[in-house]
Amino acid sequence: MPYESIKLRLEQHLSQILKQHDVLEANLRHAEGFPDDWEERAAVLQNTEVWEALEAKDKEEITATQAALARIKAGAYGSCTKCGEPIAIRRLEALPTTQTCVGCA
Ligand SMILES: [Zn+2]
């Protein structure tokens, strides 16, 4: 699968942000049937009070990381959302959540 290593990095990043918050940990432990998948966890969290408690910066990062993972899943990752041209792999490796090529950024 293309972008497998970037996908792993994004998943790790997402789990790190989520784990940073004690309140989140407690919530995760007590939630029954909470998904194993970090991307799904983040999606579930967005409907909880915990989400409101997160700092804006973290919310942004979670949303951007999830969007990147969704694009990988959909096969749309690596294409500029503005001009449709491929985004350089070096740019993706440096900025895995970017949606635009250098020219459009
Ligand atoms: Zn572009």
Mean pLDDT of 21-36: 66
Per-residue confidence band for 16, with pLDDT thresholds at 50, 70 and 90: confident
Give the pTM: 0.81
pLDDT the model gives residue 53 = 78
What's the CA gap between 15 and 41, in Å, rounded? 9
Q: Is the pLDDT of residue 22 over 80?
A: no
Q: Record the tokens describing residue 7, joined without a space.
A: 């996908």
The CA 43 to ligand 1 mean position distance, Å, reads 28
Residue 61 has pLDDT above 90, yes or no: yes
26 vs 10, which has greater pLDDT? 10
| Cα→Cα distances 85→51, 77, 78, 79, 97, Å | 34, 11, 9, 6, 16
Segment 80-88 shows an average pLDDT of: 96
- Name the token pair of 50: 């915990």
**Phi, psi at 86, each rounded to 5°:** -65, 145
Quick one: average pLDDT of 22-47?
71
Higher confidence at residue 23 or residue 89?
Answer: 89
Compute the distance from residue 54 Cα to the ligand 1 centre, in Å.
32
Torsion of CA 104, 74, 15, 41, to 10 degrees: 130
Distance CA 6, CA 16 (A): 15
Q: Ligand 1 centroid to 101 CA: how many Å?
A: 4
Average pLDDT over the chain, rounded to an integer: 86
Q: What pLDDT was estimated at residue 17?
A: 86
Q: Using DSSP, state whether 39 is helix, strand or coil.
A: helix
Compute, in angstroms, the gap from residue 78 CA to the centroid of ligand 1. Answer: 10
User: Identity (one letter) of the amino acid at 93?
Assistant: E
**Alpha-carbon gap, residue 46 to 74, rounded angstroms:** 21
